[in-house]
């Protein structure tokens, strides 16, 4: 009697390629904090040295990373084309990795244009396809008639689950994003996802989300009235929950460092009480607490992402 091999359990964090997101990935891989169960997906915003270094960090460690070749945010394609015309070293290095490295998985958001390209592509199987809406399903089925891509990200929709026969990865936005940071005070602790528990029962090869950033993309930042820190943790059933730590002095945009300190004090007290797992990202928060340092809001988000991804990596296991 032959034994059925257990499939590898996979998580595909979907990040938009802003600097703090890229640095989060790079620091995790350089410190061996995420294993091969994690394949990040980067939808790049622009061609930068940080993007290049992040991809190189994964490749140098013989680890896979997916890059969206037709991003819907930012101006990556146009700027890369312009740099290529100028024979930029950055552009040439990026293109060499994207086109020739087998550790870089080419990802495509399915739409009319990408369907035409993929239909004519000789290597359409070795792709990661992102289906975000129902209108793209027929395009996908036309391209992948009789053959499937390596991974197919699908929404929580019965039609996709039924009509995409294999290689399915569930993509959900699990982050309940608020208009204002102060609004997180209305519900400081909430459910995040249990896809990590049940994805295999739904005949999926993995699950995907937008971490603690959310699907909505805003390229420009702003000075917040309140500072919020978002921490993922496991409940007693191993489902993922999220706790929001919000500053108290929220009457103006002054003193972001002080607001961060207020939120951070709540985080440290709560995490100590609930024995939240120590991760590289969590150590970053504790270093700030012990030193009194304010690292900037981008780094705050970076630490939260790092903590989330390391938690899931440890949960899924693997090398």
**Minimal CA–CA distance to 64: which of 18, 112, 97, 109?**
97
Q: Is the pLDDT of residue 4 over 70?
A: no
- The CA-atom distances, in angstroms, between 316 and each of 154, 174, 207 are 21, 18, 11
User: Residue 205, Cβ neighbours under 10 Å: how many?
Assistant: 19
CA 21 from chain centre, in angstroms, equals 8
Predicted pLDDT at 18: 93
> In the numeric block, which tokens belong to residue 218?
């805003």
Dihedral angle of Cα 55, 313, 20, 259, to the nearest 10 degrees: -170
- Helices of type H across the chain: 19-30, 49-60, 76-85, 89-100, 112-119, 137-143, 158-163, 195-198, 256-274, 280-291, 297-316
Predicted pLDDT at 2: 37
Predicted pLDDT at 130: 97
| Whole-angstrom distance, CA of residue 23 vs CA of residue 10 | 21
Q: pLDDT tens-digit profile of 68-123?
A: 999 999 899 999 988 888 878 999 999 999 999 999 999 999 999 999 999 998 88
| Whole-angstrom distance, CA of residue 23 vs CA of residue 110 | 27
Query: Average per-residue pLDDT in the chain?
Result: 93
Q: pLDDT tens-digit profile of 139-184?
A: 999 999 989 999 999 999 999 999 998 999 999 999 999 999 999 9
66 DSSP β-pair partners: 41, 105
> Confidence class of residue 221 from pLDDT cuts 50, 70 and 90?
low
pTM for the whole thing?
A: 0.95
| Whole-angstrom distance, CA of residue 206 vs CA of residue 173 | 15
Q: pLDDT tens-digit profile of 233-258?
A: 999 999 999 999 999 999 888 899 99
Q: pLDDT tens-digit profile of 37-53?
A: 999 999 999 999 999 99
Q: pLDDT tens-digit profile of 18-30?
A: 999 999 999 999 9
Predicted pLDDT at 218: 80
Q: Name residues whose C-beta falls within 8 Å of residue 178's C-beta, 6 or more positions apart in sequence.
A: 184
Predicted pLDDT at 214: 95
Predicted pLDDT at 1: 34
Percentage above 70 pLDDT, the chain: 97
Mean pLDDT to the nearest integer, 270-297: 96
């Amino acid at each position: 009697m032959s034994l059925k091999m257990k499939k590898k359990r996979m998580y595909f964090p979907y990040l938009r390629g802003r600097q703090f997101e890229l640095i989060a990935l790079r620091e995790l891989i350089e410190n061996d904090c995420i294993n091969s169960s994690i394949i990040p997906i980067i939808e790049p915003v622009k061609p930068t040295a940080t993007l290049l270094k992040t991809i190189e960090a994964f490749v140098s460690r013989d680890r896979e990373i997916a890059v969206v070749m037709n991003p819907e945010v930012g101006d990556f394609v146009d700027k890369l084309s312009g740099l290529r015309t100028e024979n930029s070293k950055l552009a040439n290095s990026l293109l060499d990795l994207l086109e020739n490295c087998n550790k870089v998985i080419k990802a495509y958001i399915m739409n009319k244009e990408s369907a035409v390209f993929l239909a004519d592509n000789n290597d359409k199987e070795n792709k990661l396809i992102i289906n975000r809406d129902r209108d793209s399903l027929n395009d996908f089925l036309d391209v992948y008639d009789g053959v499937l891509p390596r991974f197919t990200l699908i929404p929580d929709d019965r039609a996709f689950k039924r009509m995409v026969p294999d290689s399915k990865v569930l993509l959900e936005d699990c982050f309940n994003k608020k208009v204002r940071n102060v609004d997180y005070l209305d519900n400081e602790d909430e459910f995040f996802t249990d896809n990590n528990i049940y994805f295999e029962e739904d005949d999926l090869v993995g699950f995907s989300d937008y971490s603690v950033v959310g699907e909505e993309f805003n390229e420009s930042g702003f000075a917040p009235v309140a500072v919020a820190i978002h921490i993922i943790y496991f409940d007693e059933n191993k489902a993922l929950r999220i706790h929001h730590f919000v500053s108290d002095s929220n009457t103006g945009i002054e003193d972001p460092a002080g607001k961060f300190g207020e939120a951070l004090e709540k985080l440290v007290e709560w995490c100590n009480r609930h024995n939240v797992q120590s991760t590289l990202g969590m150590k970053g928060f504790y270093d700030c607490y012990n030193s009194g340092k304010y690292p900037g809001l981008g780094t705050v988000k970076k630490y939260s992402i790092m903590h989330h991804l390391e938690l899931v990596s440890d949960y899924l296991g693997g090398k």
